[in-house]
Amino acid sequence: MSKRDTFYGWYFAIHFIITLMVDGGFAIPAAFKLPGQQFMEDFHVAQNEDFIVSEKPAWFMSFIWIEILFQLPFFVYGAYKLLTQTQTPTTYLWMLVYGVNASLTTLACLAEVWAREGLTDAVRYNLLAVYAPFFFISGYIVIDVFQRLQGELRKVKTD
């Protein structure tokens, strides 16, 4: 298994926990939250002054539901396939879909942070630092698996 696939597999496994315990909690009513979800949300908002999470605009909540309904199950699939070395080109196709989705939704968050008036530089740069790794990792996944799939497609005989 390539080092990149090992990294991606562990990234998906860790991100499953993050989605379940942090991001997923943003959409769940308080009465139904898992133990610790409200604490994680409150801690994140207090620590990072994350106005997106505290305000929960409709566009952001639609991204959270995509994360819950698509990304959460994908993290299980992707981590399993990569860490058990049973990945196929279909695995990489799903990784491409994930990468495009995650990079674009995170880019929207980065743009909102960048454009928000009234933030101190410290808060702005801290929030950019919170969101940026998810943008860069998912963006790298897009480039990497696109190239891999392109290589696979070149092997296919065409008429």
pLDDT of residue 159: 54
Q: Based on the number of CB atoms within 10 Å of its own CB, is 87 exposed (0-12), middle (13-18) or buried (19 or more)?
A: buried
pLDDT of residue 75: 98
Of residues 126, 129, 131, 121, the one with CA closest to residue 48: 126
| Overall domain count for the chain | 1
Digit-by-digit pLDDT tens for the chain (159 residues) are 799 999 999 999 999 999 999 999 999 988 898 889 999 999 999 999 999 999 999 999 999 999 999 999 999 999 999 999 999 999 999 999 999 999 999 999 999 999 999 999 999 999 999 999 999 999 999 999 999 999 888 888 765
**Cα 35 to Cα 130: distance, rounded to the nearest angstrom:** 23
| Contact in structure between 34 and 94 (CB atoms under 8 Å) | no
The residues, any chain, with a CB within 8 Å of residue 74's CB and separated by 6 or more, are 12, 94, 98
Q: Which domain range does residue 118 map to?
A: 3-155
Of residues 97, 71, 90, the one with CA closest to residue 12: 71
What are the CA-CA distances from residue 9 to residues 18, 34, 117, 155 (Å)?
14, 25, 38, 26
